[in-house]
Amino acid sequence: MSELPDWQIEIDQGVVRWQADVDAADSLESLRSLEVRALGKAGEIPALMKRIPQIPPQDRKSFGQAVNALQGTVAAAIEARRLVLVEGLIDAELNDATFDAAVGAVPLKLGHPHPLSTVQADIEAIFTSMGFHVLDYPEIESEFDNFEALNIPGWHPAREMQDTFWLESGHLLRTHTSSGQVRAMHQFKAPFRAIFPGKVFRYEATDASHEHTFHQVEGLMIDRKVTVGHLLDSMRTLLSAILQREVEIRLRPGYFPFVEPGFELDIRCQVCAGEGCSACKRRGWLELLPCGLVHPNVLRAGGLDPDEWQGWAFGLGLSRLVMMRYGVPDVRLLMGGDLRFLSQF
């Protein structure tokens, strides 16, 4: 009978040793510690595979199979011991003199959608019914997609209008969902229409109508002939459907480097009915929806010929729209995590 190689003897002894250690584990915590030591990424058993170059070539396949078998055996032993320990904990609880099986369970309190999620879902349904794609783009963006492609080069004063969270990698947390415009132009063949909702981030002071983290919905329509009238009709449809009533809006000129002409679409404050409050800065109107016709330079960045294609775009303040729908006086309540506030919805 041939003598077993040293590595085989070591693995056979390992089976016995690890089984003894598993049997000696007297708590879930100690068993978990053992599991990490034996099978973790830097565990002793996976480390055996690093010794393959030291094993004679004719034995390497057998050695690898033996290590895998050891790993499976130890994993099965740990799982069996875990089941025994859990059952022991249950038995101990049932045998506790203070345990009363007749006492009813604590009622389970189910959660519900956040108001932001509710309004976003409604917006997605409205635009889907109008033939729009609903897209999702990264919150960590490149400087190109967030600024350069939107006609905002490094020297442009508009850079100072948006205080940016920069990352060590040179990327940034997107300051607006507009960063998805050129991405969408490259992703879809014109003509197309799409919205892309999501969180945006700005390093700025907070107040009743401003947050450092808030939500927007970007809208983009690309076609051969697009007018401001198309844009306004879509916006009226959206606002009346979301707010479930006709609302007073006003359109005034606005400057945004990525649209020309650009507009600010304001809504009569629904919190104070236009009387003036902290939400609308005592003005009676709330800036809600910057919009306009897509600038030719943005179309070019998206690979489209502005002599052939046109587009409109908007950047809806989703957080502010939620405020108007539910009469929320302070945008900071939406991201505050106060269950007393959220339970009202």
* pLDDT band, residue 344 (cuts 50/70/90): confident
Say which residue, 192 or 276, is predicted with more confidence: 192
Buried b / exposed e across 130-165, counting CB within 10 Å, b at 16+? Answer: eebeebebeeebbbebbbebbbbeeeeeebeebebe
Return contacts of 279-287, CB within 8 angstroms, 24+ apart: 279/208, 279/209, 279/323, 279/328, 279/329, 279/330, 279/331, 280/209, 281/208, 281/209, 285/250, 286/209, 286/320, 286/323, 286/324, 287/317, 287/320
Pairing, β 213-223 against β 259-268: unpaired
Q: How many C-beta neighbours within 10 Å does residue 234 have?
A: 20
Give per-residue pLDDT as tens, 7-48.
888 888 888 999 999 999 999 999 999 999 988 888 888 888
* pLDDT band, residue 233 (cuts 50/70/90): confident
Give per-residue pLDDT as tens, 295-320.
999 999 999 999 999 999 999 889 98
Contact 165, 141 (CB under 8 A): no
Query: Which of 54-68, 183-197, 222-236 reaches the highest mean pLDDT?
Result: 183-197
In this prediction, residues 84-96 reach a mean pLDDT of 89
* pLDDT band, residue 272 (cuts 50/70/90): confident
* pLDDT band, residue 173 (cuts 50/70/90): very high
Query: Is residue 103 predicted with pLDDT exceeding 60?
Result: yes
| Cis, bond preceding 191 (omega within 30 deg of 0) | yes
Sheet holding 285-294, edge to edge: 133-134, 192-201, 213-223, 310-317, 285-294, 259-268, 249-253
The C-alpha atoms of residue 260 and residue 139 are separated, in whole angstroms, by 26
When the pLDDT of each residue in the chain is averaged and rounded to a whole number, the result is 88
Say which residue, 141 or 245, is predicted with more confidence: 141
Query: What does pTM read for this prediction?
Result: 0.64
φ, ψ of residue 229 in degrees (nearest 5): -60, -40
The C-alpha atoms of residue 278 and residue 208 are separated, in whole angstroms, by 6
**How much is the pLDDT for 161?**
58
Say which residue, 207 or 123, is predicted with more confidence: 123
**How much is the pLDDT for 343?**
86
**How much is the pLDDT for 96?**
84
End-to-end CA separation in angstroms for the chain: 78
* pLDDT band, residue 128 (cuts 50/70/90): very high
* pLDDT band, residue 174 (cuts 50/70/90): very high
**How much is the pLDDT for 312?**
92
Contact 231, 265 (CB under 8 A): no
**How much is the pLDDT for 79?**
93
Give per-residue pLDDT as tens, 149-167.
998 887 776 666 558 888 9
Instruction: Find the range with the poorest average confidence among 11-20, 262-271, 272-281, 318-327.
Output: 272-281
